[in-house]
A and B are shown apart, each in its own frame.
Chain A
Amino acid sequence: KAGVTQTPRYLIKTRGQQVTLSCSPISGHRSVSWYQQTPGQGLQFLFEYFSETQRNKGNFPGRFSGRQFSNSRSEMNVSTLELGDSALYLCASSLGGGENTEAFFGQGTRLTVV
Chain B
Amino acid sequence: GDSVTQMEGPVTLSEEAFLTINCTYTATGYPSLFWYVQYPGEGLQLLLKATKADDKGSNKGFEATYRKETTSFHLEKGSVQVSDSAVYFCAERGSYIPTFGRGTSLIVHP
Binds A, one of B15-23, B63-71, B75-83, B92-100: B92-100
Docked CA distance A99–B49 (Å): 11
A105: which of B44, B49, B93 is its contact (CB, 8 Å)? B44
Docked CA distance A60–B87 (Å): 25
Docked CA distance A43–B101 (Å): 8
B96: which of A44, A48, A102, A106 is its contact (CB, 8 Å)? A48
In this complex, what residue of B is CB-closest to A110? B41
Those of B82-110 within 8 Å (CB) of chain A: 89, 93-103
Q: Is B32 an interface residue (CB 8 A)?
A: yes
Q: How many A-B residue pairs have CB under 8 A?
A: 53
Known interface pairs A58-B97, A103-B98. Does A43 touch B46 (Cβ–Cβ under 8 Å)? no
Chain A contact residues: over half helix, strand or loop, or mixed? strand
Q: How many residues of B contact A (CB 8 A)?
A: 23
A106: which of B32, B43, B99 is its contact (CB, 8 Å)? B43
Contact B103 A42 (CB under 8 A): yes
Known interface pairs A90-B43, A105-B44. Does A56 touch B97 (Cβ–Cβ under 8 Å)? yes
In this complex, what residue of A is CB-closest to B100? A43
Q: How many residues of A contact B (CB 8 A)?
A: 25
Those of A47-94 within 8 Å (CB) of chain B: 48, 55-56, 58, 90, 92
Report A96 CB to chain B, min CB distance, Å.
Answer: 10
Contact A42 B100 (CB under 8 A): yes
A45: which of B32, B51, B98 is its contact (CB, 8 Å)? B98
Q: What residues of chain A have their CB less than 8 Å away from a CB belonging to chain B?
A: 4, 6, 33, 35, 42-45, 48, 55-56, 58, 90, 92, 97-100, 102-108
